[in-house]
Structure 1
Amino acid sequence: MIVRFIGVDGAVEEARGAAGDRLLDLAQAYGQPLEGTCDGQMACSTCHVIVAPEFADLLPPPSEEEEDMLDFAPGATRTSRLACQITLTEALDGLTVRMPGQQADARRR
């Protein structure tokens, strides 16, 4: 399946993943600027991505904990998500996500 990453500069990179892959892992494997400081424990927002609106409703709703972390993400939008919380499925083939202009290491204190 294909995932499209749109960089801050507008450049598009296509990545190949498989159902069950975690979006954060795929992004890092393709050199995308997602730090994932907490390794998916939802203790930071360094893997914040903006999901294309046409895919946002295909994802399970964010948990309260994820929403809390997104409150710390600079440039968060209605379709912002943490890449560590997105698991690829066949329905997400063609998923497009945009990298925000900046990432913050918003770890819980």
Structure 2
Amino acid sequence: MKIVLVDGDGREQALDAIEGWRVMEIIRDHGFPIIAECGGACACGTCQVEVDPRWTAKLHDPREDELDMLDQNYAGEWSRLSCQLIFTPDLNGLRLRIAPVALATAA
């Protein structure tokens, strides 16, 4: 099972995904520069991803705390917090990119 991470230049990288893992953990554990400061507690908004609009119908609706966190941080129309997306077989092939506000930059 895979998720597809698209970079800013449109290049795609297929990442092995494990059922039950948070999408944030999958991205982070593959070594991509996602900030994810709170580690999945829905308390910082720094794991924001932009989901390919064709996939949004397969995702559960965001809870109120996720919506609050997205409101506090710049969020695009297709933004979600990757810590709140649990990978399931239905999400095999999920396409997304790390939102600019969640990209860690080299110091």
TM tier, shorter chain? Answer: 0.7 to 0.9
TM-score normalized by structure 1? 0.86
Kindly report which structure 2 residues correspond to 1:89-100, keeping only aligned pairs within 5 A, or say none: 89-100=88-99
Gaps of 5+ in 1: 105-109
Kindly report which structure 2 residues correspond to 1:1-109, keeping only aligned pairs within 5 A, or say none: 1-74=1-74, 76-103=75-102
Q: Which amino acid aligns with 1:42?
A: C
Contact kept in structure 2, 1:5 and 1:14, CA below 8 Å: yes
Q: Which amino acid aligns with 1:91?
A: D
Gaps of 5+ in 2: none
TM-score normalized by structure 2? 0.88
- Aligned positions, number: 103
Distance 1:12 1:73, change over 3 A: farther
Distance in 1, Cα, partners of 2:57 & 2:32: 24
Q: Which has the higher helix share?
A: 2
Contact kept in structure 1, 2:48 and 2:101, CA below 8 Å: no
Distance in 1, Cα, partners of 2:94 & 2:9: 19
Distance in 2, Cα, partners of 1:88 & 1:22: 6
**Cα deviation code 1:85-106 (max 9, x no counterpart):** 01011110100011223338xx
Moved over 6 A (4+): none
Distance 1:27 1:88, change over 3 A: same
